[in-house]
Structure 1
């Protein structure tokens, strides 16, 4: 605290002193005139002075009184100035001591402390009286004292304020603290530094908070990038502010190609419309769910389940949004596969039911057909002994017998097809199998008006196959060609079947037609389940056919370049 420089509490009446001085001068003048100049007696000088003496003595008395009054006024003014200075000093001391930062003043010559405020005392754990007159080396470790002194010298030398963002100080009671310090030189009228003023803010808690915040940010970014989901941070306009590593790697885009773009440009048109509908709800409520189709850099489309959440600011307004999008592409495919299998299972169950019905019908029809063939044979035998029969009668009976035998053959083939052991493999000549299939569906071919040719070139080579399964595939391919030609209304429809033995020991069978061909958009997916070009087709025929051929270690494919018409190939290993 500053010393008290005010005037003493006792006061002298300067006016009375002045009067006393004037009277004393008056009496002294009388005594001098009487005893020195012997101008008269003492009584005469007192009672009968000359005019000159009266004027001179009265003037001196008045001057003494006036001067004393002036001196008293001057002293009172000085006292008031001192009181004001004392009040100002107390006010300044109060401000300095109540500032929540440490303030210290050092002598520029020896860098010893002259003044330290209350905050500095509390921070350092020392009283001001213990600090004043001492320097940094008296309180701090040598390394810290050297640092403080070096910075002090730098400020005093340059005469410029120095800002030290962070410095470490070991205190007596609070341990190690981190300070943000500013040091300012205090100059005299000649520009010479006479003091060093220091202001230090304790930033230990703020620094620790920043460290904790950085750790939190590191943990957040680690989790952000480690998440196996698409995560985006966007603004209210949909502009991407941040994207995690998984989103970049899965989509194929570089991070700098995503940041700053509108999230919608990565969606399909349908998903963009969904986004436009959901964004107002998201801005208002801060929450939204949607299924999104995301277009990758290579054109792949991913199915994403998107959950958007608003991040409110201090006022509760949503300024950013967190989009967590889970890739459910494989899940969707699995669900579709389950549905496909369920449909296929239902189809198989229907086929099984139809097989049971067909087996019963075949059994019931076989006996009357056998009887019909027998009756036709007996009728023809009896008719040959009757010469007067109408012309053509025997021919009609022969045709009826042929058709009955054909019907019986179809029934037997059907019963063989639906038998439980119909998948058993056997060794047979593939060209003969093809020929039997052609004969089996010859009535369909004749009814359609389509010309079918077969060019066998497998040199009677045998293959180890499931007879009924291969027949099923060939019938399916031939019927597909017939139906395609019929739908297109081609007058001179043609189906050409050929076989050959390849150099790698495979028997290759081709089925070609001059129909409308296969749409290129469908061709690449033709063998996938439920892909069909027929209006009422199930889309299982070619898929099942390929599975059967592959179970025979063979292949089934189509020539996508064939124009016009369609061309399918089937290859099966030939027996050694």
Structure 2
């Protein structure tokens, strides 16, 4: 009975020590500090044995061998001798990915006599080694116990080696993750520092959190760190300050935007700026502004000079890089300003026809212009963004807007303008890239913290269950069986099982949000807001997005943010489905209407790759995905949200290409859900792809 009590104390000491080591890993202490603490714990529990750790991960630590303090007093000599002595059984355990037991070093012949002599001279008579393996069975090193007497390890010593080898692997993977995060952050800093534009991150109250060298030089400071913590509002010219404060608050509320304003540098110089800004979630969860700002003082001065030297109409056009035109569809006649000739790269004074204009359109955007010309047949106002491909290979981004008018004879005329937005688009692309890099850094950081937390939480009850199971077997195998001790150990096993279950439940609850059905939601307004959020992405992917809503639609009851999350998931899936489409126009139709059950139905139809009809029921299952890099989470979460709103979500695939994803939710006045099937009117969305109202991309 005394042996069992001592064994139990050792197990409890191992569990407590393992918990302490995992806490050190979780808070991010250096790998060497964790390993040294582990060696100290091992020698306390290993009954006179000495310990050593050999790591062979070249990416994380290059080469590291750690010996416990009891080897020799001189640490430099200890590392050198210990490294030489470990080269035999430690390397074998790593190569075999299995434990290596040397019961008697004096009679061991697998390695050189020099290894045997050094080991015996150091007082080591037996050597037991466990490999250190990652979750993917990558060899990371080995963990060794050295006994002063010949023999095999006890069951507890085997458990000790296995448990500590596992903790070494956890610590190593955390160290590799931290290294990856540092490299990612360094890569981001390199991108930011090499861009010629001012890149800044500011809080809602205007405090500068980060600025690159280009930004600090623009402000008149050679050191970016000297500006961190300063208020950016103090640099904005007084007459523009209120406007910029409102602009920054809108960005920190989740919007994107563009603004021109003046700043006063530290040297008292006035500069004219333009900025593209987007919201960004900071480490503490608050929303801050990520802005890319360009000094356009020279451009503004040149524009002002042109304003003074040309006629009024020509001066406006030249400052805004736009040209005006008049088009009569019935005759095909087009008249335009000189600036429009320059934008299209056509010799001034040449006769312009619609064929000449469309010939300048980039082939990848021809469907966008064709869609606008189709709308012109119905006398609708026109607005679209597309690229020009000039004969010399130059690519320009332009925006066209035209207003439909009718002459006294009833003939349809269009009066409009085309603006060159190439520089603005380039700034938007730079902003998009920086946001993606920052999001990646944030995800890696969050993944590291989450992984460490899960390892810390789940490892303790699982280790307890395994240890209790081993003790239970020994107690029952005793002669006679120790039933009382076995019952007590079984109770501890049940307790640890409940602890593991509670950890899983807490992790599930962390990602679950209960819906409170108290708000009245306008689905049309909610869809508009989501489309505005994706406008830049849709434009960048060269997609024509159309929205069609029935009149006098009633509101629904539910959580607006969660319903918008579903719409956002369906739109992003539609965008991704057309990623490689090049043989047909890229179109998305969003339709909102009542279905046959008088519920409100939202349908998203695309011209992408579609899906196999037999997989329709699997699309909304957890972790099922048809995308190579997908996780199978978005549609599963969407189904969960819609079902909690008393609704239904489904998908249909077109025979040729594309798919429709739709959901229906009860109106405020009609809370009962028709479970028999989705409405027919939403399923007809694909037939109306070409006649819906267009949302400018």
Normalising by structure 2, what TM-score? 0.26
Higher relative contact order (CA 8 A, sep 6+): 2
Normalising by structure 1, what TM-score? 0.31
